[in-house]
Amino acid sequence: MNAPLLDIHGLRHTFPKADGGDLLVLDGIELQIAQGQIVGLLGRTGSGKSTLLRLIAGLAQPSDGSVTYLGQPVLGPAPGIAMVFQGFALFPWLTVLENVQLGLEALGLPDPEIRKRALAAIDLIGLDGYESAYPRELSGGMRQRVGFARALVVHPNILLMDEPFSALDVLTAETLRTDFLDLWGDGKLPIKGVILVTHNIEEAVLMCDRILLFSNNPGRIIREIGVDLPQPRNRLDPQFRDLVEKIYVAMTARTPNALTGRQTTINTVLPRVSANLFSGLIETLAAEPYHGKADLPVLADELHMEADELFPVAEAMQMFHFAEVEGGDIKLTDTGKQFAEFGTDDRKKLFQKQLLAYIPLATHVRRVLQERANHAAPKSRFLDELEDHMSTEDAEHTLRAVTAWGRYAEAFAYDDDAGMFSLENPT
């Protein structure tokens, strides 16, 4: 009986692409989870961590490799693995009590036992008095409590949490986290292990015993960080701050152009960052108190942005050579500083220069338009090209990003009704 709670070996997962090929989303995942651990899966949007959670839950099957739960392969939704969803996934037509009972009814238990266990779970999670309420009558925090009660009532061995606090406001999220950790710490929860998917670095450090960092495209585990701070943890504790900083450093080390030396190519998936956000961040960095250089966690805190929101902006600024990101810091380049000093028109010119110099897709679009006799080309022409190298969704996003930049830089125009790129701007 010494089999680990969960054992994932050589797991690979692909999604079918529009052109019939496969898109690799998870690669080489090795993971063992022992009893009594909270394990965090931390990564950017699109790193496949939610997909991994669904593979563990048996909601989908991996393309390659195995998921073993208590020595048994997971080939479908397994008993003993329950999930808490980001959007709560409560059934709006069932009351709180009925929602909680649903999983027990599926188990085919006798009615009195269903009722007894459901009421106990509701009591445990602090939902007393709300039994006959419908989800729509509850606040977000109360709804997620129902989500927790519904998962716990089936007495799962593993609780899977898919960004369970990200749809809640800051205060509510903190209350729910604390309540959960208290129950977990007191051994009141009928579970043996927890897997938490999150993109919130502080949340991971606050809750987890082990944190696995995921890279993007495809998702791989790039680093494992153990957290042995005692619970309850204090966000202001220097050791806590150190860990957060350490994770920032690890995560920024993987962005393109930096230490890895990866160049932006025509097939790079581009982040959708508006020119306004660019200008705003460059101005902020150039001014007091940063003087062109800032610590990313500090900056994220100051701007009330989550790491997941800040990273794409930093990454885009780096692609444009407006800034360099390294070791958890962001630093403006000379071009970046110049940009901060310019007025609107000069900024546009500089932006166009950087765009055409460093974003190969933009250069490509403009060259195609110049070469054609009518200086126009349909969107599908570029979309088809991109879809050979990325998913349909990424291709769409990438083309939108480049369209927005091209418009701001006045490098080319786009007419959405006709779906046509052109060199002409309306006069």
The residues binding another protein (CB under 8 A) are: 54, 57-59, 61, 72-79, 81-83, 85-89, 91-94, 102-103, 105-109, 134, 136, 150, 154, 417
Nearest-approach distance from CB 85 to another protein, in angstroms: 5
Nearest-approach distance from CB 217 to another protein, in angstroms: 22
Nearest-approach distance from CB 169 to another protein, in angstroms: 17
Those residues with Cβ within 8 angstroms of residue 170's Cβ, 6 or more apart along the chain or in another chain: none
> Contact, 41 vs 212, CB < 8 A?
yes
From residue 141, how far is each of 194, 272, 322 by CA, in Å? 20, 30, 41
Long-range pairs for 118-125: beta carbons < 8 A, 24 or more residues apart: 118/149, 118/153, 120/153, 121/149, 121/150, 121/152, 121/153, 122/96, 122/97, 122/149, 124/149, 124/152, 124/183, 124/188, 125/149, 125/152, 125/179, 125/183
Nearest-approach distance from CB 335 to another protein, in angstroms: 39
Nearest-approach distance from CB 136 to another protein, in angstroms: 5
Measured between alpha carbons, how far is 227 from 244 in angstroms, rounded to an integer? Answer: 11
Those residues with Cβ within 8 angstroms of residue 366's Cβ, 6 or more apart along the chain or in another chain: 356, 406, 411, 412, 423
If the CB atoms of residues 15 and 342 are measured against another protein, the closer one turns out to be 15
If the CB atoms of residues 92 and 238 are measured against another protein, the closer one turns out to be 92
Nearest-approach distance from CB 70 to another protein, in angstroms: 10
If the CB atoms of residues 150 and 347 are measured against another protein, the closer one turns out to be 150
Residue 409, CA atoms < 13 Å, CB-side half-sphere:
25
Question: In 183-255, at which residue ranges do the beta strands (DSSP E only) sit?
Answer: 193-198, 210-214, 221-226
> Contact, 402 vs 352, CB < 8 A?
no
Nearest-approach distance from CB 19 to another protein, in angstroms: 15
If the CB atoms of residues 103 and 336 are measured against another protein, the closer one turns out to be 103
Residue 408, CA atoms < 13 Å, CB-side half-sphere:
24
Scanning the structure block, which residue is given the tokens 């403009």?
366
If the CB atoms of residues 87 and 280 are measured against another protein, the closer one turns out to be 87
Residue 413, CA atoms < 13 Å, CB-side half-sphere:
11
Nearest-approach distance from CB 56 to another protein, in angstroms: 11
If the CB atoms of residues 108 and 261 are measured against another protein, the closer one turns out to be 108
If the CB atoms of residues 82 and 409 are measured against another protein, the closer one turns out to be 82
If the CB atoms of residues 78 and 281 are measured against another protein, the closer one turns out to be 78
Count of other CB atoms within 10 angstroms of residue 39: 24
Measured between alpha carbons, how far is 236 from 17 in angstroms, rounded to an integer? Answer: 45
- The type of residue at 263 is Q
Measured between alpha carbons, how far is 164 from 355 in angstroms, rounded to an integer? Answer: 38
Question: In 292-363, at which residue ranges do the beta strands (DSSP E only) sit?
Answer: 293-295, 323-326, 329-332
Nearest-approach distance from CB 18 to another protein, in angstroms: 12
If the CB atoms of residues 74 and 270 are measured against another protein, the closer one turns out to be 74
Nearest-approach distance from CB 50 to another protein, in angstroms: 11
Nearest-approach distance from CB 88 to another protein, in angstroms: 8
If the CB atoms of residues 198 and 268 are measured against another protein, the closer one turns out to be 198
If the CB atoms of residues 79 and 141 are measured against another protein, the closer one turns out to be 79
Structure tokens at 112: 């009195």
Cis, peptide link before residue 16, omega less than 30° from 0: no
> Contact, 59 vs 106, CB < 8 A?
no
